[in-house]
Structure 1
Amino acid sequence: MAKFEEIGTASIPGQGGELRLLQRNDEFSIRIAGKSGELMNTRLHGSEDALAELACERIAQRPGARVLIGGLGMGFTLAAALKALGEDAEIVVAELVPGVVEWNRGPLGDAAGRPLDDPRTRVSPGDVGELLRREPGGFDAIMLDVDNGPEGLTRRENDWLYSPRGLAAAQQALRPEGVLAVWSAGQDPAFTERLRRVGLLVEEVTVRAHRPGKGAKHRIWLAY
């Protein structure tokens, strides 16, 4: 079997650190330099698809739906949101690492169908937390797939986003009857309780990394 080869690196703002983009034939992997395992793989995106599908089904019929995706990743959540929403929708993608956007415009783009080329997509460079604070009442749905979920892995600053203050900011950024959807690599009962403490109703959904029904079990919280 062919081996993965590194084809790009990207610095993580803040604490530093580096992401690595690797390729093996038509398969891509994103990893953290100096750590074992991978963050993302183009063959395993079922739960990223589900994040958008579960959130968008609740607001898809709204005219001019506007949604925010925190974390571009490999573009699969964005692609699923574009598929679920109408032609008058706007999808804002907040991405902290400029190199990730460049990868999605370049070698990674075909894997998800080049969703950054869709005219409904707008990229907002920088921290999604800052965008939440800037736009109260700005979104019908907010989808957070930042780091490894509530348990930060790449960047300590991400902890704020999943704190009571960060969740309150997300709640305030929602329009009436909007939905907050949060992806995680695993369960986190303490995070469920934090969502409830800021006054949100919470539904937890277990999804699989690979469809149909295969791969690791990931968790998505839907909060209203």
Structure 2
Amino acid sequence: MIPRELVGVAEVPGGPPLRLFRRGDDFMIVLDRNELMSTRQHGSEVALGTMACDRLAGRAAPHVLVGGYGMGFTLRAVLGRLGAEARVTVAELVPGIIEWARGPMAAVAAGCLDDRRVTLVMGDVGAVMDQGAGRYDAILLDVDNGPDGLTRAANDGLYGARGLAVARRALRPGGVLAIWSAAPDPAFGRRLERAGFAVDTVSVRARENGKGAAHVIWFAVPR
């Protein structure tokens, strides 16, 4: 077996560090002993982007906020689905993630951060939403392994009543809030409904070939 090689360590404000490993041509981002994402299993991250954009069909020049760059699979999926007049804002808290995208993972990024439709904001996606009332047609959140602050405790606020109210205000009428999770969480679906959203819960596989673990995406539209 090809040994796993540590490529780099990225500090997370208010949380434990992330580590980037490489095994052959594959990359993995790990938090403690949790593999958060990998180039081998990214089908659900792609689905987060494509399925959210499909819900924007017919909108002229949509503006999409992607919370958490990760390995760029969601961003690339969004760019592949949207037209030339679209705008995509990417909020990434961890500078090291972007350094990896422009360094050892440049081939995976495939230039997506340099697309003219993309604006990169280094900071907390919660703050970006709070400053953007009525700005976005879709908000895509993949900053944890689910609706709790795994990567840092402060992220819990994104999934509580106040955080969901902030997301709701940041959406344009009929806009879509999409949240990725590694596992089901029925209580969170009910929380979305209490926050004033109509919710569609979708199960998607980790791999693009339809195999692998079942992940969950909540698509929530303000009622």
Query: Could you tell me which residue of structure 2 aligns to residue 146 of structure 1?
Result: 143
Percent identity reads 55
Task: State whether residues 148 and 185 of structure 1, in contact with CA within 8 Å, keep that contact through their aligned partners in structure 2.
Answer: yes
Partner of 2:26: 27
The answer to which of 21-30 and 107-116 deviates more is 107-116
Residue 43 of structure 1 is matched in structure 2 by 40
Tell me the CA shift for residue 48 of structure 1.
0.1
1:18 Cα shift? Answer: 0.6
Please give the TM-score of this superposition, normalised by the length of structure 2: 0.96
Contact 1:145–1:183 at 8 Å: present in 2 too? yes
Partner Cα distance (1:144, 1:58) in 2: 16
Q: 1:118: how far off?
A: 1.0
User: After superposition, what is the alpha-carbon deviation per residue over 1:31-60, rounded to whole angstroms, capped at 9, x for unaligned?
Assistant: 11xx22311101110000000111101214
Query: Matches of 2:132 and 2:161 in 1, distance apart?
Result: 18
Identify unmatched segments of 5+ residues in structure 1. none
Question: Paired residue for 2:158?
Answer: 161
* 2:11 alignment partner AA: S
CA contact (8 A) 1:60 1:85 kept: no
195-204 or 146-155, which deviates more: 146-155
CA distance in 2 between partners of 1:208 and 1:99 (Å) = 28
Residue 198 of structure 1 deviates from its aligned partner by 1.1
CA distance in 2, matches of 1:37, 1:197: 31
TM-score of the aligned structures, taking structure 1 as reference length: 0.96
Matches of 1:37 and 1:180 in 2, distance apart? 26
In the TM superposition, what is the alpha-carbon distance from 1:61 to its structure 2 partner?
A: 3.0
Does the 8 A contact of 1:19 with 1:30 survive in 2? yes
Give the partner amino acid of 1:107. Answer: P
SS in 1 for 2:64: strand
Runs of 4+ in 1 over 6 A off after TM superposition: none
Range moving further from structure 2, 152-161 or 108-117: 108-117
Confirm or deny: 8 A CA contact 2:102 2:109 kept in the other structure: no
Amino acid at match of 2:92: E
Asked whether 1:191 is paired with 2:185, we answer: no
Q: Give the number of equivalent residue pairs.
A: 221
Cα distance in 1 for partners of 2:135, 2:188 equals: 24
8 A contact 1:60–1:84 mirrored in 2: no
Q: CA deviation at 1:149?
A: 1.5
- Amino acid in the other structure paired with 2:128: L
| Aligned: 1:103 with 2:100 | yes
